[in-house]
Amino acid sequence: MNQKVALRMLERLGYRADVAANGFETLEALRRQDYDLILMDVLMPEMDGEQATLAIREQWPAERQPRIIALTANVLSEDRERYLALGMDDYLAKPIRVSELCRVLNESPTRIHPPPEFWP
């Protein structure tokens, strides 16, 4: 459900997003194309978001690494610090709020921006 909500929010903001069911699919998608930003769910089957983030940080050159935003229901400050220490760039708590999603999008350098009329 959170995935569908996030996709709809991104679409309304003028972004196109791809979906990966687990960390392995995320790595495969990155092998096919570059991404500016990954909203990385921390809890995924087979390979979780922490493992996928570590793999990205180890396997991709710095100039090709996307910004990685942790998505989690864990909202303690220690959790946020843990995700940042793992190599994630920021943190969003579930359920995602549009204002917080816009904040991380605005802070993320991108090659392609949506039309200005989509920005809140």
In the chain, the amino acid numbered 40 is M
Q: For 14-71, write each residue's pLDDT tens digit.
A: 888 999 999 999 999 999 999 999 999 998 889 999 999 999 999 999 988 999 999 9
What are 91's strand-pairing partners?
70
Stated pTM of the model:
0.86
Return the CATH number of the domain spanning residue range 2-109: 3.40.50.2300
pLDDT at position 3 over 60: yes
Whose CA is closest to 112, among 7, 4, 13? 13
Q: What's residue 1's pLDDT?
A: 63
pLDDT at position 88 over 60: yes
**What is the greatest pairwise CA distance in the chain?**
39
